[in-house]
Amino acid sequence: MSLFMHRYLVVILAILGTLTLLALAYAVLGKRFTDKIVAANLMGSLGVNLIVILALLLGADYILDIGLVFALLAFLMVIVLCRFVQNDTLRRESEEQNGAGEGEVRHDA
């Protein structure tokens, strides 16, 4: 690998590392839970990119397998978080519907 390519990949790693830290800050400071899910997905994608570039720099093919496993885990994490939000939303809607029915007066004959 040429010296230019090596330096280029190191700069790309630094940029991706900075973007990962910014995504982490967004995940912590995000107002809605869905913002946090998007930030978690972004961190997973950036992490996979970091792993692939490290594999390229080190010339180790086995690291690509680790990146593949990390990508699958990041995908599953987002699916589980989305399912959690969906279940929580359905529970809140159910509680609101049940709560609205309690305040009404029933007139049975």
pLDDT in tens, 38-95: 998 999 999 999 999 999 999 888 999 999 999 999 999 999 988 988 898 889 888 8
| pLDDT tens digit sequence for 11-40 | 999 999 999 999 999 989 988 888 888 998
Q: What is the pLDDT of residue 34?
A: 84
Q: Are 36 and 24 in contact (CB under 8 A)?
A: no
| The pair of three-digit structure tokens given for residue 38, joined into one six-digit string | 């998007």
DSSP one-letter code for 36: H
Q: Cα(44)–Cα(20) distance, rounded to whole angstroms? A: 9
The reported pTM is 0.74
Q: What is the pLDDT of residue 15?
A: 95
Q: How many CA atoms lie within 13 A of 46 on its CB side?
A: 19
Where are the domains positioned within the chain? Answer: 3-100
